[in-house]
């Protein structure tokens, strides 16, 4: 199976995501690839990493401002060395939400739209994978 970096979900992906149970938390695994140079409309000369860092900081504040109980960034850090397999990611993040509906509402609200441009400016692409806490092991 191959993987594909993307910026936005397809309508089919959104439909499948929203079919998850309302009573179960989701953990969103973010595998991130930054642009070498951010693409801001005003031409600001910063790296994609800096632009995405602005987005991440604003998103963390948004979660606090919305006071969504159970929503939090669990982990965020650089992807350093691939020990097994082949991949080319710059960073990894895990964000917990109370359920899929809350996650989707969060990234669909007006306040989110005001910070989203930093994400678009900084990301070359990502994989965003919804995980649960069933306990595989």
The length of the chain in residues reads 137
The mean per-residue pLDDT over the stretch 17-43 comes to 95
pLDDT of residue 2: 59
Backbone dihedral angles phi then psi of residue 114, each to the nearest 5 degrees:
-75, -20
- Model confidence over 61-116: pLDDT tens digits? 999 999 988 899 999 999 999 999 988 999 999 999 999 999 999 999 999 999 99
pLDDT of residue 78: 95
The mean per-residue pLDDT over the stretch 31-35 comes to 96
Torsional sign, CA 109, 110, 111, 117: positive
**96: helix, strand or coil:** strand
Residue 31 has which token pair? 């595998």
Residue 41 has which token pair? 């409309």
Asked whether the beta carbons of 5 and 33 are under 8 A apart, the reply is yes
Asked whether the beta carbons of 130 and 28 are under 8 A apart, the reply is yes
pLDDT at 56 exceeding the cut of 80: yes
CA atoms of 85 and 94, how far apart (whole Å): 21
| Class of residue 37 by CB neighbours under 10 A (exposed 0-12, middle 13-18, buried 19+) | middle
Which residues are bridge partners to 27 per DSSP? 96, 131
Closest CA to 94 of 30, 34, 137, 6: 30
Q: List, in order of start, the domains of the chain with CATH numbers.
A: 22-131 (3.30.70.100)
């Amino acid at each position: 199976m191959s993987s594909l970096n993307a910026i936005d979900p397809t309508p089919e992906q959104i439909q499948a995501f929203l079919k998850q149970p309302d009573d179960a938390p989701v953990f969103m695994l973010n595998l991130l690839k930054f642009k070498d140079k951010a693409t801001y409309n005003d031409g600001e000369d910063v790296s994609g990493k800096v632009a995405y860092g602005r987005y991440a900081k604003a998103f963390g504040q948004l979660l606090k401002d919305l006071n969504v109980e159970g929503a939090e960034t669990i982990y965020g850090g650089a992807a350093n060395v691939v020990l097994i397999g082949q991949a080319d990611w710059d960073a990894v993040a895990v964000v917990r939400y109370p359920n899929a509906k809350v996650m989707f509402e969060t990234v669909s609200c007006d306040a989110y739209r005001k910070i989203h441009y930093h994400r678009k400016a900084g990301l070359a692409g990502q994989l965003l994978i919804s995980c649960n806490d069933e306990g595989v092991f």
